Amino acid sequence: MIVPGYRDHPAEPWDPEAPVDPGEAEDFLRRCYVENPRLGPVEPRLAIVRAQIAATGGYVHTTEELSHGARMAWRNSSRCIGRLYWRSLQVLDRRRARTADEIFQLLVHHLQTAGGGREQGRIRPVISIFAPAQPGRPHARVHNDQLIRYAGYRNENGGHVGDPAQIAFTEAVRRLGWRGKGEAFDILPLAIDVPGQPVRLYDLPERAVLEVPLTHPEHGWFAELGLRWHAVPVISNMRLTIGGVNYPLAPFNGWYLGAEIGARNLADPDRYDMLPLVAQRLGLDTSRESSLWRDSALVELNRAVLWSYERAGVKITDHHTESRRFITHLRNEEKAGRPVPADWTWIVPPISGGLTPVFHRYYEELDLRPNFYPAEDTRCPMRNH
């Protein structure tokens, strides 16, 4: 996925009541202004920020600081292979939105903008940044881990339909009154939580959700499996921190790495677990592991994903191409004198890793800021509702 993935990243403790660290604010602003000389000298700005922190415990980013800070956060995300494009991130300043209705409409706009708008399928990296956390004031949040997810349902016989990873969340929104169709690819509603109000559910309109039916370049039967996936992976459960200021609601996206869909979402045993069925339809020998039936089925499943997205005109990338581009990013950052934090276990693709150039080297895993961190309580969706 061309966005940071933090599915099982441990949450970093943070205190929303704590004032902004002046040192962290100064460090960010100095680097921001060095990288953007057009902003002018930093010292007058630092004097204003120091005074604001002393008086209120926080400060307000300018639009330029917010935009560059978000791009730096992407650049510093150790689990993202697609950081070559960090400068292209489109930043939408949504700090004035307060109501659940406002937030929902802006999230719909995010999905439409990221999906290419009139140029549907031309996926753009986008982040929507809502109000920062302030001491003594509860903050808004979206309980979904991504804006677009498919529901998961338990069967009476102990089986399931849909995405098993979303069963707990699906049960939570059903308790709040949502009723899905009970099918494999039901799009979940957004659960938006604003201070002083109960959680509100919003169904995404069709215009905001671009999906791709999956077919195969050679096997006509593949279409009979009824598989599909959405085009825009918007992470919505991460906290963005810039210069000591925390933004608990800052959904962001890039575009899919094909293997994220074909080798994880559709292949993992605890997700859609499609490899046994694909292998059966391919006529592979599944009686012994040494036949490498899983490997063969995995390759064909990934071919189907890439083929389908490309035929539909929806932007996607393969793991070989993106691995080479990440090496280009490393070289660019080294020339700029900046370290590149990277988590090897996430940078190396989940398919044919040893065939990619990112496999054959070590990386430093540094906690550089600005950055993204798991929001609080993400492992237990809506546990208080």
All residues at 6 or more sequence positions from 27 whose CB lies less than 8 Å from its CB, including other chains = 243, 369
Confirm whether 86 is a catalytic residue.
no
Question: What does 257-292 look like in DSSP terms, one character per residue?
Answer: BHHIIIIIITTSTTTT--HHHHHHHHT---S-GGG-
Q: Phi and psi dihedrals of 351, rounded to 5? A: -140, 130
Inter-residue contact 213 to 223 (CB < 8 Å): yes
Neighbours of 368 (CB within 10 A): 16
Inter-residue contact 60 to 69 (CB < 8 Å): no
Which of 74, 86, 229, 255 is catalytic? The answer is 255
Is 80 marked as a binding-site residue?
A: yes
Q: Phi and psi dihedrals of 233, rounded to 5? A: -85, 95
Could you tell me how far CA 328 lies from the centroid of its own chain? 22
How far apart are alpha carbons 301 and 293 in whole angstroms?
A: 12
How far apart are alpha carbons 336 and 317 in whole angstroms?
A: 26
Confirm whether 255 is a catalytic residue.
yes
DSSP-derived letter for residue 211 is: E
Could you tell me how far CA 101 lies from the centroid of its own chain? 22
Confirm whether 344 is a catalytic residue.
no
Residue 211, burial from CB neighbour count under 10 angstroms (0-12, 13-18, 19+): middle
Which of 260, 322, 325, 369 is catalytic? The answer is 260
- Which helix (H) or strand (E) element contains residue 55? helix 43-56
How far apart are alpha carbons 44 and 62 in whole angstroms?
A: 14
What's at 248, amino acid-wise? P
Which of 45, 75, 83, 239 is catalytic? The answer is 83
How far apart are alpha carbons 367 and 78 in whole angstroms?
A: 8
Which of 32, 71, 80, 293 is catalytic? The answer is 80
By C-alpha distance, which of 168, 172, 201, 166 is closest to 186? Answer: 166
Confirm whether 260 is a catalytic residue.
yes
- Residues with a known catalytic role: 80, 83, 255, 260
Q: Which residues are annotated as a binding site?
A: 80
Query: Which residues sit in the known binding site for heme?
Result: 80
